[in-house]
Structure 1
Amino acid sequence: MTVRVDRRGPVATFTFDRLTKRNAFDAAMTAALDSALNDFEDDDSLRVGIITGGTEAFSAGTDVVSWAGEPTPRGGPYGVAGRTITKPLIAAVEGIAAGGGFEIALSATMIVASTASTFSFPEVKLGLIAECGGLFRGPRALPLNVARELLLTGGTLSATRAYALGLVNRLTVPGEALSEALELATSIATVAPIAVRQTLEALEALHCADDEIGWNATDRAKEAARGSADALEGVAAFKERRSPRWTGR
C-alpha cells in the first residue's frame, strides 16, 4: 500500500508510503491517492484532510524511472494537483517537497512544515518544466521574483523562509508537522461544516479563476520541453548520476 489512510473522527490523514523512493510518485501511487481522496470527498462525515509523507520526506515528486501515470479524472496529476478542492486539505511537510511534491503541497488548502523541510522546483535541471501547477501556483503563493528564481534555477527554499514569505501557515520543530496539522484540522472540524464548505468554495472560485489559463500555458511549455533533446539528456543524466550535457535543442 503506497498511501495509508487513518481517521480521527472527522479528520482523515493520507500518508505517502514509498520512502525507499523518497515518496516519489509512480502510477500506482497516483491511483492510490486519487482513490483515497475520492472517498474522502464523498464521505460527509469527514470534514478535513491531511496529506503527509511522514517524518522523513514529503515527496520528491515524479519517479522519473517509472513516471507517475496519467492524470486521473477527478484529481488530475498525482490524483490531487488538478482536483477541485471541496473540503480543507492540509499538507504536513517534513523533509523535501521537490518538484511534483512541492506542487502537491501547493494544491492543498494550507501548509504546515517543520524547520527541516525544503521546497523546490528542480525540473529545469532535468530539461523539464514544473508541469503540475507550479508555473501558476508558485507565483500565487510566493512573491513573483521568488517564484521566478525557484522555477528558473531549480534552487531550494527553506521552510523558515517559506514561513516568513507566507507560503507556510505554521512552522514546527522537526517531527511535529503532522501533530500541528492535526491541531489545525481539528480547529476547522469543530466549526460549522456548511459555512466552512461555502467559504472554501468561494475562496477557490475567486483564487483559481485563472487556472484554465495556467494549465493551458503549462501544457504548451510541457510539450516544448518534453520534446527537446535536452529533456532526454537531462533525464538520462539523472538516471546515470552524471552532469547533463545541454545542447539547447
Structure 2
Amino acid sequence: MTDEVLVTHEDGIATITINRPDQRNAVNRAVSYGVCAAVDELDARDDLRVGILTGAGGTFCAGMDLKAFLRGEVTRVEGRGILGIAMTPPKKPLIAAVEGYALAGGFEAVLACDLLVAARDAKFGLPEAKRGLAAAAGGLLRLPRLLPPRIALELALTGEMVTAGRLDRYGLVNALVEPGEALAEAKRLARKIIANAPMSVAASKRVMVEQQDWTLEEMFARQAEITGHLLASEDAREGATAFAEKRVPEWKGR
C-alpha cells in the first residue's frame, strides 16, 4: 500500500483516504492501485462491512493527475478504471465522504460509490470537455441514471461545477453537512448499515444495482435467485428472535 492512500479499519468500517493534499488528491497510478487494493480488501474480509472513500486536506479528489498523464503514466487500473472502482465497484457498500472539490475522475469515483455525504460548500463537476477529453470513467454512463437527464447533460457539456446543495435538491446526496463533518457523518451512516444483517445488505445492494437492466418478465425470478436464501438463513431466525426478545441481533452472516 502506498502512503498516497491511507487505510484504517475500525468497527467494521474501512476508511480509505486519498492522501495527496498538495496535489488536490489528483489521481496518479499509485493512488488508483492503492484505492483498488483497499477496496479489494474490504470485499475479501468478513470483519469489514462498509467502506468510506474520502480525501485528505479538505479536498476529495480533483480527478486525474494531468501532469502524470502528460508523462505517460497510466492513472487507471487495467480492466477496472480509475481507482479500480469505475468499472468494478465493490460488492459491499461504499460511501463517498466529500469535502471541497470532487471533479472529473473524482466526481466519477463519487458516482461509483453507493451513498454520498457532502459538505455544504463542496463542489462537483465533469470538466473533461474543457480539456479535450470525455468523462469516460463512468460519468457519462452513471450521471444520467442518477440525475434528471437534462441536468446530467448540462454538467457534461458545459464542464461547469455544481454545488452540493444543487445535487442535494436532485436527490444525489444522502446527507448534506457542515464543512469538516463529512467523514464523521459518513461513519454514522456506515454504523447504521453495519447494524443490519450482512447477507441482507449484500443481497439488497446486488439486486438494486443489477435490476436496472432486468425486464419486467424476469425481474422477480432474478431477484429470487439473489435473495431466496435469506428466508432460510440463521440470520433470519436471529432477526425475528431478537425482535421478539427486544434485544440487539447477533449476526452470523449465514
The percent of aligned pairs where both chains have the same amino acid is: 40
1:19 matched to 2:21? The reply is yes
With CA pairs under 8 Å and 6+ residues apart, which has the higher RCO, 1 or 2? 1
CA shift in 2, pair 1:119/1:89, >3 Å: same
Residue from 29, 35, 38 that aligns with 1:36: 38
1:64 matched to 2:69? The reply is no
CA shift in 2, pair 1:73/1:42, >3 Å: farther
For 2:213 and 2:58, locate their aligned partners in 1 and report how far apart those are by CA, in whole Å: 31
What is the letter of the counterpart of residue 36 of structure 1?
Answer: A
For 1:160 and 1:200, locate their aligned partners in 2 and report how far apart those are by CA, in whole Å: 26
TM-score norm. by structure 1 comes to 0.81
For 2:165 and 2:106, locate their aligned partners in 1 and report how far apart those are by CA, in whole Å: 18
Residue from 195, 206, 221 that aligns with 1:190: 195
CA contact (8 A) 1:94 1:116 kept: yes
CA shift in 2, pair 1:181/1:36, >3 Å: same
CA contact (8 A) 1:55 1:175 kept: no
Secondary structure at 1:5's aligned position in 2?
strand
What is the letter of the counterpart of residue 178 of structure 1?
Answer: L
What is the letter of the counterpart of residue 11 of structure 1?
Answer: I
- In the alignment, what sits opposite 1:216? none
Runs of 4+ in structure 1 over 4 Å off: none
- Alpha-carbon RMSD: 1.5
CA contact (8 A) 2:122 2:164 kept: yes
CA contact (8 A) 2:93 2:205 kept: yes
1:4 matched to 2:6? The reply is yes
What is the letter of the counterpart of residue 112 of structure 2?
Answer: S
- In the alignment, what sits opposite 2:178? 173
- In the alignment, what sits opposite 2:48? 46
For 1:84 and 1:141, locate their aligned partners in 2 and report how far apart those are by CA, in whole Å: 16
Give deviations 1:157-197, integer Å, cap 9, x for gaps. Answer: 10011111101110000000000000000000011110000
Matches within 5 A, 1:85-164: 85-164=90-169
CA shift in 2, pair 1:183/1:208, >3 Å: farther
CA contact (8 A) 2:34 2:83 kept: no
CA shift in 2, pair 1:25/1:161, >3 Å: same
| Aligned-pair CA distance for 1:84 | 3.8
For 1:45 and 1:88, locate their aligned partners in 2 and report how far apart those are by CA, in whole Å: 14
Which blocks of at least 5 consecutive residues in structure 1 are unaligned? 210-249
| Aligned-pair CA distance for 1:54 | 3.2
| Aligned-pair CA distance for 1:73 | 5.2
| Aligned-pair CA distance for 1:77 | 2.3
TM-score norm. by structure 2 comes to 0.79
Q: Which protein has the larger Cα radius of gyration, Structure 1 or Structure 2? A: 2
| Aligned-pair CA distance for 1:75 | 3.8
What is the letter of the counterpart of residue 42 of structure 2?
Answer: F
| Aligned-pair CA distance for 1:74 | 6.8
Give deviations 1:178-237, integer Å, cap 9, x for gaps. Answer: 00000000000011110000001111111367xxxxxxxxxxxxxxxxxxxxxxxxxxxx
Give deviations 1:114-142, integer Å, cap 9, x for gaps. Answer: 00101100011111110100001111111
For 1:23 and 1:12, locate their aligned partners in 2 and report how far apart those are by CA, in whole Å: 19
For 1:199 and 1:120, locate their aligned partners in 2 and report how far apart those are by CA, in whole Å: 29
For 1:204 and 1:122, locate their aligned partners in 2 and report how far apart those are by CA, in whole Å: 27
Which blocks of at least 5 consecutive residues in structure 2 are unaligned? 215-254
CA contact (8 A) 1:30 1:69 kept: no
CA contact (8 A) 1:51 1:90 kept: yes
